[in-house]
Chains A and B, each alone.
Chain A
Amino acid sequence: MSEVPSNGRTALPRSIPATAGIGLRAVHQSQILRDRPPIGWLEVHSENYFADGGLQIDRLMSARAIYPLSLHGVGLSLGSTDPLDREHLRRLKRLVERCEPALVSEHLSWGSVQGTHFNDLLPLPMTEEALQHMIARVGAVQDTLGRRILIENPSTYLRFAAAELTEWDFLGALAAASGCGLLLDVNNVYVSARNHGFDAGAYLSALPAEAVLEMHLAGHTVKRIGEREILIDTHSAVVCDPVWDLYRCALDRFGPVPSLVEWDAEIPALEVLLSEAAKADHYLESLNVVAA
């Protein structure tokens, strides 16, 4: 499409270029379909399109005809010891077959126990048992979908004292054993590093570079608890400067990869998201200039 510049990089049909994308939210749908702004690619929450048919699916397919697409799941509850929800997975598979996304991702988290869902990305204990569980579950999903998925690091607000692995070693081992890729959420690394006092740079250095196939950027909020601060991953603000700095470190480490600006609450005008995406594109292009 001539309306969608490739920023000098060539994208194969349906593949996602190493440019900035934005999360497609319902409030921006009509504007994007009408104006076709220059966005590298779009990502949607998979569950928002689990419908049997209808207007949302039609609009997604219209967007899909213009922009490369990524599906990002939030409800598969991969880390739960509850049985894998086969109906949820069936709907995901149907959606994947419908829109043939370039990327499919989920989270390193759990969300249900004994049949009750918390509809949240809850933290896993970083144990060998949890690792083996995640390896099996990611493998089952990849087998069902017939494709590689990406797993995203979460923001966490607590850690289990008896951890046997660091989160970065857990993710590296998961990728190696299951063959999954990694979706590096730079904001989540920053949030968790601040909340738990680890070195975000060390986190990036330890991840297997070849496995990182997508990055996320988002805003967070700061909550005071007594004398302490805790960062909450709210996706309700612009990306802060320290996260941009960390993003540039990540680009140095992993090279140019598709980078998404996420915004899920208090969603602003589309122009604000495009401005954030332009900033990410600027850093991606700077990297290419340096590499050249």
Chain B
Amino acid sequence: MLSLHDTQIAFGAAIHGEDAGALGELIGDDGISPERRIQIYRNNYRLNTLTALQATYPVVERLGGAEWFAQSAAKYQDSRPSQSGDLQYFSAAYPGFLRQDLENTEFGYFADVAALEWAYECVLTAADGSPVDLTVLHQVAPEDYENLVFVPQPALGLVASPFPIFAIWHAHQPDGANDTALRLDAGGSRVLVIRRPDHVELREITAANFALLRQFQRGVALGAAVEAAAVEVAAADGVESFDLTTSLRELLGLGAIMRITSGAAPSIL
């Protein structure tokens, strides 16, 4: 009899499709071969992870079809086996996998749709936050504004794509139009994913708001964030002007900011 550890190594290898011989000697054949018995566990291994991916990426599955999705899930599982007993973690790297796997194909946009669906999942389960109390700004001298750090809500995600992923996502919801006439060259999307009290909201936002919020997510203080965002907007768009007052008003109106802190000291104002 092998040790418990070696038994589990042999079992794992057999599930992965390697020679089940070592495990077979431990099981014996009682009318049902070890290979057939192991196949039951192989099926479970595939099915459990496929089910987890289906729950997180329903739009990608609708886009690619059930058969393609099952094949893609199996390929993903083989290249990046689960590293946690919590299957939610397993789904995390799927957008990156699709980006590599579908690179230079007409389905490359699936990766961006998957990134949006993963952002949805993360926002759904992120820590709770609350809208910022703006009266704290009254305590700050205008010359110190550039050092303020705007901390976004934890339940907030940002996904940008050269493809119209916002429209694609909506069209492929269970009650969506399932519009197959969507044009991939209809323009890109910058999507804010944010949790509301009873649902997760997806909303397209401007290049300026997107860039500024992303700087805030990185912990960049207001002055430097504005500079970086303005450069990014000019490079990406060339048309859209950057109006800080408008952007801040809109982001605060969206409830995207949880608190404002002084850059010099981490305490909450």
Contact = CB atoms under 8 A, between A and B. Distances in A.
Interface string B188-226: 000000010011100000000000000000000000000
Interface stretch (A159-167, A209-217, A244-252): A159-167
A12 to B, nearest CB: 30
A53 B125 contact: yes
Interface string A125-143: 1010110010000000000
A76 B52 CA distance: 17
24 contacts: A50-B86, A52-B125, A53-B126, A54-B124, A54-B125, A54-B126, A55-B198, A56-B125, A74-B85, A75-B86, A75-B87, A76-B85, A113-B8, A117-B83, A117-B90, A118-B82, A119-B85, A120-B45, A129-B3, A158-B34, A159-B27, A160-B26, A226-B31, A230-B40
A169 interface: no
B83 A157 contact: no
Interface of B: 1, 3-5, 7-9, 11-12, 15, 26-28, 31-32, 34, 36-38, 40-41, 44-45, 48-49, 52, 81-88, 90, 124-128, 154-155, 195, 198-200
A117 B84 CA distance: 6
Nearest to B155: A54
A50 B126 CA distance: 10
B128 A54 contact: yes
Given A54-B195, A117-B83, A125-B1, A160 B88 contact: no
B86 A88 contact: yes
- Range of interface residues on chain A? 35 or more
Contacts of B8: 80-81, 110, 113, 122
A112 interface: yes
Contact of A81 (B5, B26, B28, B84): B5
Interface in A192-242: 223, 225-228, 230, 232
Interface of A: 47, 50-56, 74-77, 79-81, 85, 88, 91, 110-120, 122, 124-125, 127, 129-130, 133, 157-162, 223, 225-228, 230, 232
A116 B82 contact: yes
Given A53-B154, A124-B4, 10 more contacts: A50-B86, A51-B126, A54-B126, A85-B85, A117-B85, A120-B48, A125-B7, A133-B4, A158-B38, A225-B32
A80 B82 CA distance: 15
Nearest to A157: B40
A232 B52 CA distance: 20
Contacts of A232: 40
Contact of B12 (A113, A124, A157): A113
A53 B128 contact: yes
A52 B82 contact: no
Give me the 4 closest cross-chain CB pairs, A-B, nearest first.
A75-B85, A51-B125, A53-B128, A162-B1
A127 B4 contact: yes
Contact of A119 (B3, B26, B82, B198): B82
Contacts of B26: 125, 160-162
B6 to A, nearest CB: 9
Contacts of B40: 157, 223, 230, 232
A55 B195 CA distance: 9
Nearest to A111: B85
Interface centre among B8, B15, B45 (most CB of A within 10 A): B8
Contacts of B52: 119
Contacts of B126: 51-54
Contacts of B199: 55
Contacts of A159: 27
Contacts of A227: 31
Contact of A52 (B83, B87, B127, B200): B127
Interface centre among B44, B85, B154, B155 (most CB of A within 10 A): B85
A211 B3 CA distance: 29
A89 to B, nearest CB: 10
Contact of A55 (B48, B82, B124): B124
A127 B38 CA distance: 20
A47 B48 CA distance: 14
Nearest to A229: B32
B192 to A, nearest CB: 17
A52 to B, nearest CB: 4
Nearest to A117: B82
Nearest to A158: B37
